Structure 1
Amino acid sequence: MRELVYTGFMSLDGVMDSPGGTVEGHRSGGWVFETEFVPEAYSLKAEELEETTALMFGRRSYEAFAPVWRDSADHVGYKELPKYVVSSTLGEDAVIDGWGPITILRSTEDVAALKAQDGGAIFIHGSSELARTLSDADLIDRYNLLVFPVLLGAGKSAFSRADRDKLNLSVRESATYSNGVVKLCYDVKR
């Protein structure tokens, strides 16, 4: 069975909306870049690349990331990895060429079937709505979070507010950095 890992940047109040810019329309977009850059605070991203065997996105994150990451020197390690886009509306004609194999999954059942296959870890970047849906379907196995010292108030969250059974987590790893960023990696206990 494959492991499904959600990874993301988050404000202290759980908002994941527009960390790198205003592409999603959040009025405080780009809040990650307002925090002092400390290289070790981002070491998690290099560690993740070592274990990533595939990427997964929701439609909106795919449309935002694909044209940028495809040609980005910072993301060259992801270029040829398989990518999965979970969307009921994205057409095959909207797939970006030159960014490795891309498969469109139409449902949580498709994601569950992918997880049941042999293979390594699949990492979900951005895609807060997808994260909520997959968490509610009990499909996420791990959360890798970099929590930034900012309160944003409103915005998208990766965590559902649905009334559901309690989900217990165990700490895999944590660290605090001089710029106030906190690394929190949790395994979902089943």
Structure 2
Amino acid sequence: MRDIVWTGFVSLDGVADSPGSEAEGHRSGGWVMATEFLPEAFALKGEEMADTSALLLGRHSYEIFAPVWRDSEDHAAYRDLPKYVVSTTLEEKDLLDGWGPTTILRSDEDVAALKKEEGGSLYVHGSLELARRLADAGLVDRYHLLMFPVLLGAGRRPFSDADRDKQQLTLTDSDSYANGVVKLVYTVG
């Protein structure tokens, strides 16, 4: 069985919307870039690259990441990895060439079936709607959060506000950095 890991940047008030730029949709987009860069605060991202056996993305995040990450040397480790995009609207003709094998999954049930296969961890970057749905379906095994010292107010969050049973998390790794970023790694259950 494969683990599903949601990884993302979040503000202190839990917003994960548009960390890279305003072009992603939020009026305060690019809020990660406004924090002093310290390599040690981003070391988790390198650890994730080493652990990732495949990427699992929502359609919107796929469309943002694919053209940038395909040609990025910082993301070269992801180039040939399998990618899975969960979408009811994306078509094969919409997939980007040159970014490794990509499979379109049409439902959370397809994700559950993929999770049951042999293989390593599936990492979900961004993909906030997908993150909420997978968590509500009990499919997320671990959360990797880099919490930034900013309050954004409105914005999309990775966690659902659905009325469901409490889900206990176990903190398995944490650290804080001089730039105010806090690393939090939780396992579910």
**TM-score with structure 2 setting the length:** 0.99
2:39: which partner in 1? 39
3-state SS of the aligned residue for 1:32?
Answer: coil
Q: Report what 1:184 is aligned to.
A: 184
Equivalent-residue separation in structure 2 for 1:72 and 1:38 (angstroms): 20
- Structure 2 residue identity aligned to 1:22: E
Aligned twin of 2:30: 30
Runs (4+) of structure 1 exceeding 6 A deviation are: none
- CA deviations on 1:70-104 (whole Å, 9 max, x unpaired) are 00111101000000000011011100000000000
| TM-superposed deviation, 1:24 | 2.3
Aligned counterparts, 1:1-190, within 5 A: 1-189=1-189
Q: Deviations over 1:166-189 (max 9, x none)?
A: 111001100000000000000001
Displacement of 1:22? 1.2
Alignment-mate amino acid for residue 145 of structure 1: L
Which structure 1 residue ranges, 5 or more long, are not aligned?
none
Identity %: 66
The answer (yes or no) to whether the contact 1:23–1:64 under 8 Å persists in 2 is no
Q: Residue 34 of structure 1: SS of its match in structure 2?
A: coil
Distance across 1 between alignment mates of 2:156 and 2:119: 30
> Is the CA contact (8 Å cut-off) linking 1:128 and 1:158 kept in structure 2?
yes
Separation in 2, partners of 1:96, 1:124: 18
**Secondary structure in structure 1 of the residue aligned to 2:178:** coil
- The question of whether the paired residues in 2 share the 8 Å contact of 1:9 and 1:146 is answered with yes
Quote the Cα distance in structure 1 between the aligned partners of 2:138 and 2:172. 19
TM-score normalised to the size of structure 1? 0.99
Measure the CA separation in 1 of the matches of 2:90 and 2:23.
Answer: 19
Q: Decide whether the 8 Å contact of 1:7 with 1:125 is kept in 2.
A: yes
Deviation at 1:25, TM superposition (A): 1.6
Is the contact made by 1:37 and 1:179 (CA closer than 8 Å) also made in structure 2?
A: yes
Paired letter, 1:150: V
